[in-house]
A and B are shown apart, each in its own frame.
Chain A
Amino acid sequence: DAKTTQPTSMDCAEGRAANLPCNHSTISGNEYVYWYRQIHSQGPQYIIHGLKNNETNEMASLIITEDRKSSTLILPHATLRDTAVYYCIVNIQGGSEKLVFGKGTKLTVNP
């Protein structure tokens, strides 16, 4: 079973920041938080991952709470092309083969 809980769906206005929450209250000390997204009819795409520090790359920012029991993926300026299902996954590094995908959050970016 997935170790994360995400809202089923969210909406965001184009140009605004999209903040996608994820709860992972049973995360263990050596587990990373990974985010992937799946645009309709495509394979999932890696976005970002982190252990305990906040991370930023060209796609998004990842904010992990100090107790590591939850995190937020931030798309700073959402576009229509960001409409997708976003998956939050926890896993140990080196254990990629056991990635368990939950149901994710369906993000709809509206014009």
Chain B
Amino acid sequence: DQQVKQNSPSLSVQEGRISILNCDYTNSMFDYFLWYKKYPAEGPTFLISISSIKDKNEDGRFTVFLNKSAKHLSLHIVPSQPGDSAVYFCAARQIQGAQKLVFGQGTRLTINP
């Protein structure tokens, strides 16, 4: 049972435009949501997070939106840059227990010049 889903395996965006990555979840007990970025042959790196009591969090070019009623979150990157080309993982934390994260399958973002 996939509790966190990223239904788009890949996304291609032109440099300078907006990239929108989507994530859906099924477990109402998640209290925190995160996005990680991963380059080839490296470990994932933390990008941005949002608490379940908020609907938006912004950090520079990156904004995460949370729609609790739809159990959906999205990551917006504006403007997209070539260095943003990577795999992006959505993750969610359950309220109980050791800050374990449940990850989505990942979306490979390619920024074209």
Tell me whether A and B are bound partners.
no
A contact residues vs B (CB 8 Å cutoff): none
